[in-house]
Amino acid sequence: MFISQAHAQTANSAPAGGEWFLPAMMIGLLIFMYFTTIRPQRKRQKEHAELVSSLSKGDEVLMSSGLMGKVMDLSDLYVVVNVSDKVDLKFQRTHVTATLPKGTIKTLGA
């Protein structure tokens, strides 16, 4: 009963080109994943690194917590942000998400 099924499943019974379908599908999937997830993420990381390295005193910034303020002092890892009169807060530079055009904070506070 099982012998006839075993003879029917020989190694040569696969369709022509079928042995390359799975590797080609895996390579296609990896290429798709690269262009949809890995490449855009690396681009965002590079843009953020450029933003953080280009900070200077007087820039108006938006922090990841939502706070907006003016950069008062910079060090290698930290940035001191003035958020109100006589209120300076120290953040890690990596928490800066965007720089704002000059005068944005004054227009929003008015």
Task: Grade residue 18 by pLDDT with cuts at 50, 70 and 90.
Answer: confident
More confident residue, 13 or 80: 80
For residue range 2-11, what is the model confidence (pLDDT) as tens digits?
A: 555 555 555 5
For residue range 75-96, what is the model confidence (pLDDT) as tens digits?
A: 999 999 999 989 999 999 999 9
Say which range, 13-17, 35-39, 43-47, has the weakest mean pLDDT. Answer: 13-17
Strand residues in the chain grouped as ranges (E): 60-63, 68-74, 78-84, 87-92, 96-100
Cα 51 from Cα 45, distance rounded (Å): 10
